[in-house]
Chains A and B, each alone.
Chain A
Amino acid sequence: MPDLPNPIYFAIPAFVLLIVAEMIHARLTGKTQYEPRDTAASLVMGLGNTVSGILLGGIALAWFAYIEQFALLDIGWAWWAFALAFVLDDFVYYWSHRFAHTVRWWWADHVIHHSSQHYNLSTALRQPWLSPLSLKFIIFGSWLVLAGFPPAMVAFVGALNLIYQFWIHTEAVPKMWAPIEAVMNTPSHHRVHHATNPRYLDRNFAGVFIIWDRMFGTFEPEREDEPCRYGIVRNLATFNPIKICLHEWAGIFKDVASARSPGEALGYWFGPPGWSPDGSRDSSKILKQRWMEGRQAETGEAEAPQRAAAAE
């Protein structure tokens, strides 16, 4: 077994340099903004994520070490296995990410990454602190290990996937060459993913390859006539990292405590973000539906019903 390094440690200096470069670019061009309190919050969340990975990552490691004995195959360490693992890991990432947006329990963890109203390279590092406790790694992280890829290889390609995703958190890069936009996740595609415009909600879940969104009907291109508004549907009015980290968990516990039946409690816990028993809150699906109805009423555009069908 090769002694694989953690590529994220090597990437950190590049992250720092690229953030500084984008910050200077932002100042010179005005095309994007960095606001110190937002930047500080994002970077502290990133640093906390690293610390929590060290403290809590053992839970996931222990799980993968345990399930390795049940692996169907022994794929080994061939070069092609790395390439295959990278692609398959990205496929799993797509679904993991999609569920992170549609199941509140996992959204409570992932919402942290979306909680800035800015979109710059520091936003890429705004990451949760309690991920291992969401147990998402059991549902989505086990497949490749059970298939027979060595856990260290899975961890390695997963880290490469995350490193790739750093550079796409920028407004400094416009749409790229069409063949690249067709296959790869790019800054343009990921801007859409971070936008709260109803048209863009719950779209472009890809990590590295945008083809998964194209295959599974969740792709939405960035439009010049609809600039992205970044953040979440209920943006946070705080830069406090603790509150950023815990706000959705606090919301879940509050809602579950007020539930009038076990069914309601389960709905608050595992339903889509914004779910409520009486439908009085706004889930992404409701927001998109309302937006499409409004748009159809205003313009009578023929594309609205098609999109409504696609959103189902």
Chain B
Amino acid sequence: MNEILTLILVLGASAISVGLIVVLNVFLGGWTPARFAYAGEGVQRIEEGVLGFSASHEAVMGRGGRVVLALEQGGARLGVAATSGDRATVRALRPGDVRAVRHDGATLTLDLTDYTFPRVWLILEDADTAHVWAEHARAFVKTAPAPARTETASHA
């Protein structure tokens, strides 16, 4: 009985400690939500994070600097860099890695087949830019043919 009580006390105290530590973390601060200042910064993160990924000149950053998309040279992969807390997560998407592509005005949404990274959405400069990048992304939708290439945006 004593052992069970000790166990409950240890677990209870641990749970309270977890809560207090997180509150302390919030209170102390010291981290900054990650944002890309320009598309090239996101491209650099993709190239650092995906060995062998060499971006073409086609890259675009969503408003607020949360997401950057970049086509690889040759168009074989679509690079994605998305901020997550004070860090960024990157992917190099191959054909089949995108489940669906939607764009509504300047908003572009990619549904991915990735369990921990299921969706990317970004607001682009205008509807035309969103349309162009939707077309780029559709080349990576499951059952899609080889990626189509369109010369458009640059590392802005």
- Give residues in A with beta carbon < 8 Å to B: 9, 12, 16, 19-20, 23-24, 26-27, 30, 33-40, 43-44, 46-47, 50-51, 54, 117-118, 122, 196, 198, 229, 231, 234-239, 243-244, 246-247, 250-251, 280, 282, 287, 290-291, 294
Contact = CB atoms under 8 A, between A and B. Distances in A.
Given A20-B21, A35-B25, A47-B14, 5 more contacts: A16-B21, A30-B30, A36-B31, A198-B51, A280-B94
16 contacts: A23-B28, A26-B30, A27-B29, A33-B31, A35-B86, A38-B87, A40-B18, A117-B87, A231-B87, A235-B87, A235-B90, A238-B116, A238-B117, A247-B116, A251-B115, A287-B51
A25 to B, nearest CB: 10
A312 B117 CA distance: 33
A237 B30 CA distance: 21
A235 B29 CA distance: 23
Interface in B2-38: 6-7, 10-11, 13-15, 17-18, 21-22, 24-26, 28-31
Contacts of B30: 26-27, 30, 33-34
Contacts of B103: none
A284 B15 CA distance: 36
Q: Please tell me the size bucket of the interface on B.
A: 35 or more
B85 interface: yes
A39 B25 contact: yes
B91 interface: yes
B98 to A, nearest CB: 15
A35 B7 contact: no
B85 A43 contact: no
A249 B86 CA distance: 27
A36 B29 CA distance: 9
B133 to A, nearest CB: 19
A282 B15 contact: no
A196 B14 CA distance: 31
Contacts of B26: 36
Contacts of A229: 48-49
Given A238-B117, A247-B115, A290-B52, A37 B21 contact: no
A12 B14 contact: yes
A14 to B, nearest CB: 12
B18 A44 contact: yes
B61 interface: no
Contacts of A46: 18
A36 B11 contact: no
Most-contacted residue by chain A among B11, B18, B26, B29 (CB, 10 A): B18
